[in-house]
Amino acid sequence: MTKFDTTNIKGVLVPILTPVDADENIDIPKLKWMTRHVIDGGIDGILAFGSNSEFYMFSDDEMLEATQAILDEAKGQVPVYFGIGHIRTKQAIALAKRAAKLDIEAISVLQPMFIQPTETALYHHFKAIAEAVPDTKMLLYSNPGRTGYTMSDDLIVNLAHDVDNIVGIKESSGNVTKLEELVRRTQDIDFKAFAGKDTIVFPGLAIGAAGAVCSTANMYTELVCGIYDKFQAGDLAGALADQFKLNPIRNSQDAASFPAATKDMANLMGMDVGPSVLPTEATTGPVLEKMKQAMRDGGYLK
């Protein structure tokens, strides 16, 4: 049984967009505005520097400064998480130690991208990071679509049972069976599994997930949070209706270059978060028109 209080690790978490100016510097005042925007929309937690936050574009110093700005604006109203995506174990540990000094709920650590370690090596990687910050909670972040490989259920379940401060996972494959198995096989411990794909928030909750991490919650905060809130209140029909309203909008993003679509939609809605960091460029042409149409159909764009 974990010694950590995981009461607040639940609900809809947003990998908050990182606004930038024309020189690609993080726009701190706008980031604070974004923080207030999602909190006012009902978000349950904020993930700083997840995949849609473009963590791979910023230095450790930039990410830590921006996270402190988020914490300053959030003022404890919602938990704040910090994403780590370094490939090298030593660098991930160094960043984890710095992040642990902030008033964060937990760190979220992505499996190493580009390379493909063995499962034994991955076990050692995650365990070493967690043990370097023994008083800080840690979520695993499984994203096979971005990293090119899948972490086995056995690996995740073993880490969950063996390492006290590994208390959850964001599982972004979109595979409901995998998410369900992780929930089933960690019932004996306090381990929080989150759906990492916006289109399966409702199915995830139905099989016992603690919540979901959704990039669309940057723009459609009330809609996405409505899935979770209505489900918890027993309004299953209402929760499913919100999921069905969200899905065409989220699915329209798939043809765009990752991660441009989220900022594109935010800017279309007048949120003025600046461009994606180069070499990612804004969506254009038929793909953009499809996104706009989905937003119009959902009532979010005239």
E strands in the chain: 11-15, 45-48, 80-84, 106-110, 137-142, 166-171, 192-195, 211-213
Report, as an integer, the average pLDDT of 60-80. 98
Mean pLDDT across the chain, nearest whole number?
Answer: 98
- The sign of the CA dihedral 200, 202, 208, 212 is positive
Residue 249 lies in a domain: no
Residue 287 lies in a domain: no
Q: Does 2 have pLDDT greater than 70?
A: no
Residue 270 lies in a domain: no
Enter the DSSP assignment of 20: B
Residues with a catalytic annotation lie at: 141, 170
Q: How confident is the model at residue 58 (pLDDT cuts 50, 70, 90)?
A: very high
Residue 1 lies in a domain: no
Please report, as a single letter, which amino acid is at residue 274: G
What is residue 3's predicted lDDT score, i.e. its pLDDT?
84
Distances (CA, A) of 104 to 13, 185, 187, 213, 224: 14, 27, 25, 17, 23
Residue ranges for the known binding site are 213
Sort 69 into a burial class: Cβ within 10 Å, 0-12 / 13-18 / 19+: middle
Query: For residue 125, which of 148, 93, 173, 170 has the smallest C-alpha distance?
Result: 93
Residue 246 lies in a domain: no
CATH number of the domain residue 92 falls in: 3.20.20.70
Q: Does 41 have pLDDT greater than 70?
A: yes
Share of the chain above pLDDT 70, in %: 99
- Residue found by looking up tokens 């409702």 in the block: 202
Dist CA 15 CA 53 (whole Å): 6
Dist CA 145 CA 78 (whole Å): 29
Q: Give phi and psi for 138, each to the nearest 5.
A: -135, 135
Share of the chain above pLDDT 90, in %: 99
Q: Does 238 have pLDDT greater than 60?
A: yes
Enter the DSSP assignment of 113: S
Residue 259 lies in a domain: no
Dist CA 252 CA 243 (whole Å): 14
Residue ranges for the known binding site for pyruvate are 213
Provide the token pair at 218. 């940057």
Residue 6 lies in a domain: no
Report, as an integer, the average pLDDT of 79-91. 98
pLDDT digits (tens, 9 = 90+) for 113-142: 999 999 999 999 999 999 999 999 999 999
> What's the total number of domains in the chain?
1
Q: Give phi and psi for 217, each to the nearest 5.
A: -70, -10
Q: How confident is the model at residue 199 (pLDDT cuts 50, 70, 90)?
A: very high
Report, as an integer, the average pLDDT of 204-229. 98
Residue 46 lies in a domain: yes
Q: Give phi and psi for 283, each to the nearest 5.
A: -70, 145
Domain span holding position 39: 11-235
Dist CA 227 CA 235 (whole Å): 9
Query: For residue 277, which of 56, 74, 34 has the smallest C-alpha distance?
Result: 56
CB 106 within 8 A of CB 81: yes
What is residue 1's predicted lDDT score, i.e. its pLDDT?
46
Dist CA 23 CA 287 (whole Å): 26
pTM across the whole model: 0.98
